[in-house]
């Protein structure tokens, strides 16, 4: 009979322990999964806009007309649209840098071609901004 009580007591202790949360039982829990960032429906356009802004930042500085406004515009865009999304912020920053570097690799002095490229990119950027705001803006 003593064996039966001991076995029953052990069973009750195990049953009670299994009702406790795993953390209270001394079992290590796996770290919570990182929240998956869902892309915004306009991310591809926004990425292209970031690339255009990087191009404009380089081209305007190359031709002596840069006042920092294109980089500031990119910073404002990042602050407004990627506040809690570090991976998305990294992707848009990479797009800006890609645009900057792509023209830095080709244009080392301000030429007519550089001015034409700047004008075309300015127009493309304005079109993209209007499309994004018109379709997805509040």
Taking only the tens place, the pLDDT of each residue in 30-78 is: 554 455 667 788 899 999 999 999 999 999 999 988 677 888 888 888 8
Residue closest to 78 by CA, chosen among 94, 64, 67, 65: 94
pTM greater than 0.75: no
Residue 121 has pLDDT above 50, yes or no: yes
Residue 130 has pLDDT above 80, yes or no: yes
Distances (CA, A) of 69 to 38, 57, 61, 72, 119: 29, 8, 11, 5, 15
């Amino acid at each position: 009979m003593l064996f039966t009580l001991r076995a029953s007591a052990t069973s009750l202790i195990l049953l009670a322990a299994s009702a406790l949360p795993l953390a209270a039982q001394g079992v290590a829990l796996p770290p919570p999964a990182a929240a998956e960032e869902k892309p915004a429906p306009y991310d591809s356009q926004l990425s292209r806009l970031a690339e255009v802004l990087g191009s404009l930042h380089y081209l305007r500085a190359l031709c002596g007309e840069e006042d920092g406004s294109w980089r500031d515009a990119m910073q404002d865009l990042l602050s407004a649209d990627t506040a809690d999304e570090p991976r998305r912020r990294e992707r848009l920053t990479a797009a800006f840098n890609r645009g900057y570097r792509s023209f830095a690799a080709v244009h080392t002095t301000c030429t007519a071609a550089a001015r034409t490229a700047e004008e075309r990119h300015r127009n493309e950027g304005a079109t993209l901004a209007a499309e994004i705001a018109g379709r997805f803006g509040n």
